[in-house]
Amino acid sequence: MFKYLLCKLKKKIYPDPESEKAIMGSVVYCIHHKEGCQWSDELRKLKAHLNTCKYDAILCAAQCGAMIPRVLMQDHLRYTCPRRRAHCDHCGKEFSGSALEEHQGNCGHEPVYCENKCGAKVQRRHTQQHMQQHCSKRLVACRHCAQRYTQDTLSAHGATCARAPVPCPQRCAAAPMPRDELDSHLREHCAAAGMACAFRDAGCRFKGTRQALDRHVEESCQQHLALVSALATRQARALDALRSAVARLSVNCSGALVWRITDWAAKMADAKCKDGVELVSPAFYTSQYGYKLQASLFLNGNGAGEASHISVYIKILPGEYDALLRWPFAHTVSFTLFDQSSSPDRACNIVESFVPDPTWKNFQRPSKEPDALGFGFPRFVSHEMLKKRNFVKDDVMFLRVKVDPSKIVAV
């Protein structure tokens, strides 16, 4: 390029040899000044400088055809010249530069990550073998159930595989069997399964094979009998505890009791032929933590009503909350005998009530032994009256005892 320019200069602009001499003597910079060459001298010396200027481009020393500045030649020859000789880092083979570029990314010796994402790095030429034989993420069929699992989960599966063979836990002579057949083996076939004695619930701890068990049952009659007897005792105690718990739970705390007296005719007959036959109602409370009461009934009368009336009384029983209650007991008590007429509109109930007399000792806090008789009405309803209406129907009589809650003193 420069030579060509120089020719032009000679021919067209500086034909005069003297002038040319002068020009050739003028001081210039190297044409590669901008690239960094610091050379500066007479123009005539430029040509010679360019022969050594390290910024001047010359043909690639390996004859790839490229023009390369001297300063970059080494790099070019080593890294970019298509005709350079280079070794693959992985397989060590020597290639020309262009061939190496093609080789890279295909070299069989280059370690690459497994496509199954198992995390392993293997040489490219071994990836197929790795994925088929060694990869922890390859699918493998369970040899017992034939389901496919990745290799790294197969052993966990084996611990639960329904078809994997397991030995009998009772160590009988049977060969290992598929896990899902173990239950039926133990239930039906196992010769060593420890069967529990039939008296296990009574406390017998014996376990053994069928034969041993038969022998045990024959030999242990006395022992089994003792166990069963002890069990019966324990159960009776438990039953008592339950009964009292149920009684506690079902106790009436509403302050009103509807007492249903069944087998009325038989009870009346009994009362007439014996003296002082008293029927007592279930106990009930005036409220959850209130007074404990019980009604009593003499079908053939008592005291002033004997043989002519039915008599009713209320008794105060020792209750669990007596210590917290006001004494004497001062609530109104009413007794109602229901007329069980088929048309309720025409029913005519009999009601009697009283307000307790605070001076009367029956209304004081009761001792552990309550009074035989409570407070009430010896002449509640006459036997004559009883026959007039449906006070007794289907051999049943209903008597309500009600305590007026408005008079309850809160504690």
Q: Answer yes or no whether residue 204 interacts with Zn ion by CB under 5 A.
A: yes
Both structure tokens of 179: 């896990």
Q: Which of 60, 261, 299, 312 binds Zn ion (CB under 5 A)?
A: 60
Q: Answer yes or no whether residue 53 interacts with Zn ion by CB under 5 A.
A: yes
**Shortest Å, Cβ 121 to Zn ion:** 9
Part in contact with Zn ion (CB under 5 A); list of ranges 166-174, 283-291, 296-304, 375-383? 166-174
**Shortest Å, Cβ 85 to Zn ion:** 11
87 close to 93: Cβ distance less than 8 angstroms: yes
Q: Answer yes or no whether residue 314 interacts with Zn ion by CB under 5 A.
A: no
Both structure tokens of 124: 């490219």
* Segment 197-202 long-range contacts (CB within 8 Å, at least 24 positions apart): 199/224, 199/227, 199/228, 201/231, 202/227, 202/228, 202/230, 202/231
The CA distances from residue 326 to 254, 377, 409, in Å, are 18, 24, 7
Both structure tokens of 321: 């909350």
User: Residue 125 or 243: which CB sits closer to Zn ion?
Assistant: 125
User: Residue 127 or 302: which CB sits closer to Zn ion?
Assistant: 127
Part in contact with Zn ion (CB under 5 A); list of ranges 7-15, 54-62, 286-294, 344-352? 54-62
Nearest residue to 76 (alpha-carbon basis) of 93, 91, 61: 61
User: Residue 191 or 351: which CB sits closer to Zn ion?
Assistant: 191
324 burial class (0-12, 13-18, 19+ CB within 10 angstroms)? Answer: exposed
Per CB under 5 A, contacts with Zn ion among 173-192 are 174, 190
Q: Which of 46, 154, 197, 293 binds Zn ion (CB under 5 A)?
A: 197
User: Residue 170 or 382: which CB sits closer to Zn ion?
Assistant: 170
Binding track, positions 83-122, relative to Zn ion; x by CB under 5 A: -----x-xx---------------x------x-x-x-x--
* Cα(4)–Cα(24) distance, integer angstroms: 16
**Shortest Å, Cβ 30 to Zn ion:** 3
**Shortest Å, Cβ 63 to Zn ion:** 7
- Pairing state between β 392-393 and 207-208: unpaired
Q: Answer yes or no whether residue 258 interacts with Zn ion by CB under 5 A.
A: no
Q: Answer yes or no whether residue 154 interacts with Zn ion by CB under 5 A.
A: no
Per CB under 5 A, contacts with Zn ion among 23-42 are 30, 32, 37, 39
Amino acid letter, residue 111: P
The CA distances from residue 330 to 168, 190, 282, 285, 396, in Å, are 77, 76, 21, 14, 31
Instruction: Quote the DSSP letter at residue 274.
Output: S
What phi and psi, each to the nearest 5 degrees, are found at residue 289?
Answer: -115, 35
Q: Answer yes or no whether residue 231 interacts with Zn ion by CB under 5 A.
A: no
Q: Residue 328: is the preceding peptide bond cis (ω within 30°)? A: yes
Q: Answer yes or no whether residue 195 interacts with Zn ion by CB under 5 A.
A: no
User: Residue 99 or 392: which CB sits closer to Zn ion?
Assistant: 99
User: Residue 114 or 333: which CB sits closer to Zn ion?
Assistant: 114
What phi and psi, each to the nearest 5 degrees, are found at residue 2?
Answer: -65, -40
Q: Answer yes or no whether residue 309 interacts with Zn ion by CB under 5 A.
A: no
Q: Which of 46, 64, 73, 314 binds Zn ion (CB under 5 A)?
A: 64
**Shortest Å, Cβ 43 to Zn ion:** 13
Q: Answer yes or no whether residue 403 interacts with Zn ion by CB under 5 A.
A: no
User: Residue 103 or 331: which CB sits closer to Zn ion?
Assistant: 103
Q: Which of 71, 172, 251, 408 binds Zn ion (CB under 5 A)?
A: 172
* Cα(220)–Cα(130) distance, integer angstroms: 67
Q: Answer yes or no whether residue 81 interacts with Zn ion by CB under 5 A.
A: yes
381 close to 261: Cβ distance less than 8 angstroms: no
Q: Answer yes or no whether residue 145 interacts with Zn ion by CB under 5 A.
A: yes
Q: What is the CA radius of gyration of the chain?
A: 60
Q: Measure CA 398 to chain center.
A: 54
Binding positions for Zn ion, rule: CB under 5 A? 30, 32, 37, 39, 53, 60, 62, 64, 66, 81, 88, 90-91, 107, 114, 116, 118, 120, 135, 142, 144-145, 161, 168, 170, 172, 174, 190, 197, 199, 204, 206
